[in-house]
Amino acid sequence: MVGIINYGAGNIFSLTAALNRLGIAYGMVNDGQDFEQFDRYIIPGVGHAGAAMHKLEQTGLVPKIKALNKPALGICVGMQLLTSHSEEGDAKLLEIFPINTLRFANSTEYKVPHTGWNQVYPEKENELFKDIPAGSHFYFVHSYFIEYNIAYTLSSATYNTKFSASIMRDNFYGVQFHPEKSGAYGEILLTNFSKL
């Protein structure tokens, strides 16, 4: 069963609607004791990474998250929280991945935020992307991106620069796109996560 880490900075409704459609059982992690009920976790997130980290720290859940040894998936800002530092709010984050979250450079050709469908290309074989063809489109909404580092990049995308569309380290995964808004391939990814 999936535990959604509920810290007041996630778009819970679209995620729970997708999990309901897919028949994936889930519940909410509101405090430290709730972790025991679940065998995997999702860290959602929308908005400002610095503000999201502040809300997460206020819950007291940070030590529990950092100690997780079951599969955990950060989505969008939830993925950015897994990195060491974000230029958004000059914020220190969870430091699970020793990489940084950077701001896209604005230009006439590339508007920020990066909004809409973009192709995602695998960099490593992984069960999270099972049955998802290389170059499949996923839905993105973000002004900040995870710097590309082959050690942690699971898949990449390009928007004026190549960046990590998804990352992995041990039991921690992150996706910059919104699988719950990415149609059939997003649903396959959520289903794959539920079986990791």
| Catalytic-role residue among 48, 114, 142, 178 | 178
**C-alpha distances out from residue 189 to 135, 144, 175, 177, 192, Å:** 14, 22, 10, 11, 5
Looking from the CA of 146 toward its CB, the CA atoms found within 13 Å total 36
Question: Is position 137 annotated as part of the catalytic site?
Answer: no
Q: Examine the residue annotation and report whether 36 is marked as an active-site residue of this protein.
A: no
Q: CA–CA separation, 146 vs 156, rounded Å?
A: 10
Active site residue: 95, 137, 180, 187, which one?
180
DSSP 36: G
Catalytic one of 48, 54, 76, 147: 76
Residue with tokens 């810290």: 7
- The stretches of the chain forming alpha helices (DSSP H) are 12-22, 49-59, 62-66, 77-80, 183-195
180 among known catalytic residues: yes
Residues 173/166, Cβ–Cβ less than 8 Å: yes
Strand partners, 174: 74, 167
Rounded distance, CA 125 to CA 122, Å? 7
Catalytic positions: 76, 178, 180
